[in-house]
Structure 1
Amino acid sequence: MLQRPQESEYPEYYVPYVNSVPEGDLLTHLKENLTKITELFENISEEDADFRYASGKWSIREVLGHMTDTERIMSYRLLRIGRGDQTALAGFEENDYVAASQINRLPVKNILDDFVATRKATITLIENMPEGAWANVGNANNTEVTARAVAYIIAGHEIHHRKIINDRYLAAL
């Protein structure tokens, strides 16, 4: 079972993500949360997917697109760091990615299908990562991070945004 990372293994701004991952097997959580996200978004209408809980906030549809982009980027970081690649990995500006995606033109089902495919790829990457690779340290966005921490950040990021969708978006609809 993959060990929870120590706070020294990742930047401080990821603490809320890592702390939101419950104790237990990370792969089990990733698989269970895939089911939760699928059920959540299968019940969101096209009209509701355009809802923004406040001016200047992303739509529900944009949040799911952001979750997909971020998981894809973080999985790439996990792959590179897990393989021992010491090349510094660039950061990304999430608002620019959302704007450039033009995600609001896509049906929710298409966005959800993309998230599902991305999560399944993340799961197989984690399942097949060599045991010794989890302690590998890399540099992403000008900060040091271990492969183990990246895996937990991926899980925590999804949990964070699912909670926001439920608490801020769906509660206001």
Structure 2
Amino acid sequence: MSQKWSDMPELPEFFDRYIKKVDDLPLNEAFELNTPHDIMADIEKLKALEDKIYAPEKWTVKDILQHIIDTERIMIYRALRFGRNDKTVLPGFEEDDFAKNTNVSNRTIDELMEEWESVRAGSRTLFKSFNTEMLQRTGETFASNISVLALGFVIIGHAKHHYQVIEERYFPMLTA
């Protein structure tokens, strides 16, 4: 049975800001209701903005999508390790280094969304395979201890966070 984020005894520091962006639903249901296309609701606006930035040194919408995909891959790796009861402390990652070493300028929004849907399908399948004991297991990262369950909600909430940034900072450029 899938658990809600409110079932966690406490939310992990730093990651709580992402978790709280997700409705308090069972994790599998939250994944079903928050597909990449559900989160990035206005694809046409994203396409209109794909290579624009709102300020110097900021990422493009395509950079943000690639960051979401990369982060989901990293979080799912952590969930797999911790779900399998691996006690190895896992390192962080430097998101700016990742962003500087992509090929997004040669990709389209549609290609990035297709990649994200594929990654998300794998994420959903892995989380469906975890039983309650596995979801409650924790592991240590550079920042803190975090449960497998929390990582599932982080994956969803992190993407929602970035869509909010796009809405607030990028969408207004379309009317300027």
Query: TM-score scaled by structure 1?
Result: 0.90
- Distance in 1, matches of 2:43 and 2:120, equals 15
Count of aligned pairs between the two proteins: 171
Question: What residue is the counterpart of 2:21 in the other structure?
Answer: 20
Question: What residue is the counterpart of 2:116 in the other structure?
Answer: 115
Question: What residue is the counterpart of 1:36 in the other structure?
Answer: 38
Residues 52-61 or 30-39, more deviating? 30-39
Q: Aligned runs of 1:5-16 on 2, under 5 Å?
A: 6=8, 8-10=10-12, 12-16=13-17
Question: What residue is the counterpart of 1:53 in the other structure?
Answer: 54
- Given that 1:88 and 1:142 are in contact with CA atoms closer than 8 Å, whether structure 2 keeps it comes out as no
Q: Aligned AA for 2:78? A: R
Structure 1: gaps of 5 or more residues: none
Tell me whether 1:90 sits opposite 2:91 in the alignment. yes
- Distance in 1, matches of 2:29 and 2:172, equals 28
Question: What residue is the counterpart of 1:132 in the other structure?
Answer: 133
Superposed displacement of residue 38, structure 1: 5.6
- Distance in 1, matches of 2:65 and 2:123, equals 16
Residues 19/138 of structure 1: CA separation in 2 closer, same or farther (3 Å cut)? same
Superposed displacement of residue 123, structure 1: 0.7
Superposed displacement of residue 21, structure 1: 1.0
- Structure 1 vs Structure 2: percent identity of aligned residues? 28
- Distance in 2, matches of 1:40 and 1:111, equals 14
Q: Aligned AA for 2:150? A: A
Q: Deviations over 1:49-77 (max 9, x none)?
A: 00112211100000000000000110110
Superposed displacement of residue 44, structure 1: 3.0
Structure 2: gaps of 5 or more residues: none
Query: TM-score scaled by structure 2?
Result: 0.88
Q: Deviations over 1:2-28 (max 9, x none)?
A: 131547452x21121111111222222
Moved over 4 A (4+): none
- Distance in 1, matches of 2:52 and 2:9, equals 36
